[in-house]
Amino acid sequence: MEIKVLKNIMEANDAIAEKNKEIKKSRGLLMLNIIGSPGAGKTSVILKTIEHLGGVCGVIEGDITSDLDSRKMAERDIPVVQINTGGACHLDANMVYRALDNLEMENGVLFIENVGNLVCPAEFEVGEDFKVVISSIAEGDDKPYKYPLVFSKARAVVLNKIDLLPHMDFNREFFFSGVRALNPEAPVFEVSARTGEGIEAWSRWLQDIFQDLQKARQ
């Protein structure tokens, strides 16, 4: 009897991620895979960032169920597609492939808000330019130590809810050391989606990358 072993689920995923990269390139998109635990502030940071960026921006929302986050985007006339994974705790390349098919958008920044989860979203490439991890003061300062993969893979770290610093026992030095040990290059942006603090610096960093990408296409 021949036993078929389903080889590397990741291989199939990565093949579709490559297709997504082609689509993204041909449409002139900067595609960000935004990863963070439930409630870290992914939706709030994306909304504030889009206010600052101007230009064309769009969002793919990943949730197990509901369209609450995509409604917040639609209310502001931001082009959005909601993915409901129906149970899966991460987005995969195929889900994003189908979402791209349903999103009319060119020459802009596309935010993919992954399912709230600091673990497996880091393992699945979806064809993004890069990953951004959003952590928050409310989650505690030890997250880089306990969930190292996402911090090591991210091109940038956004530390959200800095308005809560006075109310929490959050050791910034400890957090930063943890990030540095895993990822010496990634900038860490301390922001508050609530007050808007720090959003400008983070948005400018993103805008510069987007402009470089646009120049390279010309």
Ligand X SMILES: Nc1nc2c(ncn2[C@@H]2O[C@H](COP(=O)(O)OP(=O)(O)OP(=O)(O)O)[C@@H](O)[C@H]2O)c(=O)[nH]1
Contact between 160 and 45 under an 8 Å Cβ cutoff? The reply is yes
Using the rule CB under 5 A, is 82 a contact of Mg ion? no
Q: Which stretch binds Zn ion (CB under 5 A): 32-40, 112-120, 153-161, 208-216?
A: 112-120
Q: What is the DSSP letter of 167?
A: G
* Six token digits for residue 37: 């635990």
Q: Tell me how far, at minimum, the Cβ of 143 lies from Zn ion, in Å.
A: 17
Using the rule CB under 5 A, is 114 a contact of Mg ion? no
> In the chain, which ranges are continuous DSSP H helix?
9-27, 42-53, 68-75, 93-101, 143-146, 148-153, 172-182, 199-217
CA distance 143 to 97: 30
Could you give the count of Cα atoms lying within 13 Å of 132 in the half-sphere of its Cβ?
27
Cβ neighbours of 68 (radius 10 Å): 11
Cβ distance to Mg ion smaller for residue 16 or 32? 32
Region 160-189 residues binding ligand X, contact defined as CB under 6 A: 160-161, 163-164
Residue nearest to ligand X (CB): 116
Looking at 9-74, which runs of residues are DSSP E strands? 29-35, 57-63
Q: Tell me how far, at minimum, the Cβ of 46 lies from ligand X, in Å.
A: 8
Cβ distance to ligand X smaller for residue 69 or 125? 69
> x/- string (CB under 6 A) for ligand X, residues 17-46?
-------------------x-xxxxxxx--
Using the rule CB under 5 A, is 43 a contact of Mg ion? yes
Nearest Cα residue to 55 out of 216, 194, 200, 211: 211
Residues of the shown chain interacting with ligand X in the complex, contacts defined by CB under 6 A: 36, 38-44, 69, 116, 160-161, 163-164, 192-194
Residues forming contacts to Mg ion in the complex (CB under 5 A) are: 42-43, 69
